[in-house]
Amino acid sequence: MSATSSTRSTAPQTQHRLTYPVLIAIAHVHHASAWSVTCESITHRLANQCQEHQHIPAAPTSTVHTAHKHSHNALAYLATCVPMETCGGTPPAVP
């Protein structure tokens, strides 16, 4: 009777880190409407850049935060593009 020993070798798993381009602009303005127009044009530009890198069209995720400080309007605009690797869905599994 003989015993056979086998060894299994596994390759290390690679982790993929997703990156999201983010634009953050903070300004103290007296006229929020002028700032709103600027944010809208930035959103359109980012949406066009995102769609150039995607297989299917998708709108960017955007959020506008408003805060009041020292009686001035402080607006912070955040626009995030969905990276092309995910196309708005779950990232592919790593084999």
72-80 sheet: strands from edge to edge: 22-29, 72-80, 61-69
Reduced to 3 DSSP states, what percent helix, strand and coil does the chain have, rounded to the nearest 5? Answer: 20, 25, 50
**So what's the pLDDT on residue 41?**
73
DSSP assignment, residue 95?
-
Inter-residue contact 75 to 81 (CB < 8 Å): no
* Bridge partner residues of 74 (DSSP): 28, 67
Predicted confidence at residue 8, as pLDDT, reads: 57
Phi and psi angles of residue 68, each rounded to the nearest 5 degrees, phi first: -110, 130
Domain boundaries, the chain: 32-77
**Token digits for 20?**
């999201």
pLDDT tens, residue order, the chain (95 aa): 555 555 555 555 666 666 666 666 665 555 555 555 566 677 777 777 766 655 544 444 444 444 344 334 344 444 444 344 444 555 555 55
